[in-house]
């Protein structure tokens, strides 16, 4: 009995010690972070220029969505009768400069998409993977056209806003 009571008192003390050790580590971590941020913000003009650089970087990486104003309507061939496909697309671009370029070259982008999707197979439109493949083909075509025009891809992604096949 005495041994059991002694074991209980030892294990209870171990929990207290563990709590104290964890508290001390947490306190040291907080103090270390405070010192790190205090030393990092004492740079004066360096911190202002780095802040401006961060703001420019954030602005360059800001995502914009450029909607194609009118839907793309294509005739899709199939055995019994032809079908009509209507696509409403949105272009995802990063940075204001790329947004302006995408808006400026919208006719060329539409032409690239139409050229790529001109001869679609109706069976491809009936599967989810086929729809993904169509989007990827259009995206590669648009990026290639923009590389020809602006020497950079400009458009990061093409997103569906509407997809109708009749």
Q: What is the pTM of this model?
A: 0.62
Residues 6 or more apart whose Cβ sits within 8 Å of residue 89: 68, 72, 113, 138, 158, 159, 160, 161
pLDDT at residue 42, rounded to an integer: 52
Tens-place pLDDT, residues 115-144: 888 878 888 888 889 888 888 999 999 999
Q: Binning pLDDT at 50, 70 and 90, where does residue 47 land? A: low
Q: How far apart are CA 96 and CA 80, in angstroms?
A: 47
> Which H or E run includes 47?
helix 45-60
Give the model's pLDDT for residue 32: 77
Give the pLDDT band (50/70/90) at residue 112. Answer: very high
Mean pLDDT calculated for residue range 149-159: 91
Task: Say what the pLDDT of residue 104 is.
Answer: 93
The answer for residues whose C-beta is within 8 angstroms of residue 153's C-beta and 6 or more apart is: 143, 146, 147
Q: How confident is the model over 60-111, as pLDDT tens digits? A: 789 999 999 999 898 888 888 888 889 899 999 998 899 999 999 999 999 9
């Amino acid at each position: 009995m005495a041994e059991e009571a002694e074991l209980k008192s030892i294990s209870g003390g171990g929990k207290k010690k563990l709590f104290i050790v964890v508290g001390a580590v947490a306190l040291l971590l907080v103090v270390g972070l405070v010192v790190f941020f205090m030393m990092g913000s004492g740079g004066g003009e360096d911190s202002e220029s780095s802040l401006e650089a961060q703001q420019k970087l954030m602005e360059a990486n800001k995502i914009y969505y450029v909607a194609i104003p009118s839907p793309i309507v294509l005739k899709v061939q199939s055995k019994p009768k032809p079908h009509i496909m209507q696509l409403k697309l949105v272009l995802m671009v990063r940075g204001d400069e790329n947004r302006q370029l995408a808006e400026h070259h919208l006719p060329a982008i539409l032409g690239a998409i139409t050229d790529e999707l001109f001869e679609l197979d109706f069976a491809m439109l009936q599967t989810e993977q086929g729809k993904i493949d169509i989007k990827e083909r259009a995206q590669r075509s648009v990026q290639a056209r923009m590389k020809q025009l602006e020497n950079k891809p400009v458009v990061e992604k093409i997103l569906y806003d509407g997809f109708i096949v009749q």
